[in-house]
Amino acid sequence: MIELDIIAYLNNDDTLSTLLGSTVSDSKIYPSQMPHGATAPFIIYTTSSNGGLQENMNDITMSFNCVDDSYLVAKQIRDRISALLDVQDQAQWLISSASYKIFWSKLVGGTTFKEPELDNFHDVAVVDFQYIELTGRFIDVINKSITFPMFGSFVDEFTIFNGYRFPAAVTITAVEFHSNEAPTGADATLDILLDSVEQTRIATLTDGTRDERTNITDLAVTSAQDVGAIIKSIGSTNPGAGGTIVFHYK
């Protein structure tokens, strides 16, 4: 589950661990409810939604309830959660996962309250994540294509994604490059990665254009190879921003 990768990312943060008083045997971050005998401070996380967006994108919203006897400590923990997770498209390289690619992470809400019965303060952060699952479930087997999203401005030599594996051997024959904002001043280009090695199968988005398909020299890919894409050039005036990459295969 993607929640476990997000929690693992939080557990690896020394500042948050210090605020919580975490130990090797007790991270002080609990799913759904605190265990019997747990002492503050701690975090209780829940998943309030987990569903699909357009194309192959998924969305999950998680709530992080930061609890302590002290209002200040609860707020400090909540602020650290915000610093770690309210990172928008930076999530692409901050939150690692072998099974998912997280493209977006944003604080979307929260609340603060006191529980009179236990005399605890609660500071809640609500965070939305957008991601794809690195399996074959999102392949369009009818049109034989797969779509990957891009967020933010194009950056030269930036790896858009890496680590996708097809469920069976395929041959990639064409790449569609779509952007929300067209590159201007120069063409934007990308290359396919195979086991992190550039394949010189360049797809072009011509200066001033938002949608373009490039037929490439056939690229054979096995089910054991990691597939990715890397930006190779950007617009000189406006680099281009957002959109999707579509791989066509047979």
- pLDDT digit string, tens, across residues 10-38: 999 999 999 999 998 899 999 988 888 88
Separation of alpha carbons 77 and 57, rounded Å: 30
Closest CA to 221 of 178, 154, 173, 189: 173
Domain boundary among 84, 109, 133: 133
Same domain for 6 and 129:
yes
Is the pLDDT score of 50 beyond 80?
no
Give me the percent of the chain exceeding a pLDDT of 70: 93
Q: Residues 86-126: pLDDT tens digits?
A: 998 888 778 877 777 788 899 999 999 998 777 899 999 99
DSSP type of residue 118? T
Give 137's contacts (C-beta < 8 A, 6+ positions apart).
Answer: none
Burial grade of 159 (CB within 10 A; 0-12, 13-18, 19 or more): middle
Q: Domain span at residue 171?
A: 136-249
Q: Tell whether the model's pLDDT for residue 1 goes beyond 90.
A: no
Burial 133-143 (b: 16+ CB within 10 A, else e): bbeeebbeeee
pTM of this prediction? 0.59
What's the confidence (pLDDT) of residue 142? 47
Domain count, the chain: 2
Say yes or no: 98 and 145 in one domain. no
Q: Are 199 and 225 in contact (CB under 8 A)?
A: no
68 has pLDDT over 90: yes
Residue 225 belongs to a domain with what CATH number?
2.60.120.260
Claim to verify: residue 216 and residue 241 sit in the same structural domain: yes
The confidence score (pLDDT) of residue 125 equals 96
In the prediction, which pLDDT does 52 show? 55
Question: What CATH number has the domain bearing residue 124?
Answer: 3.30.2000.30
Let me know whether 125 and 165 are in one domain: no
Strand partners, 159: 230
Q: Which pLDDT band, with edges at 50, 70 and 90, does 131 fall under?
A: confident
For residue 185, list its beta bridge partners: none
The residue among 133, 148, 169 that closes a domain is 133
pLDDT band of residue 183 (cuts 50, 70, 90) is very high
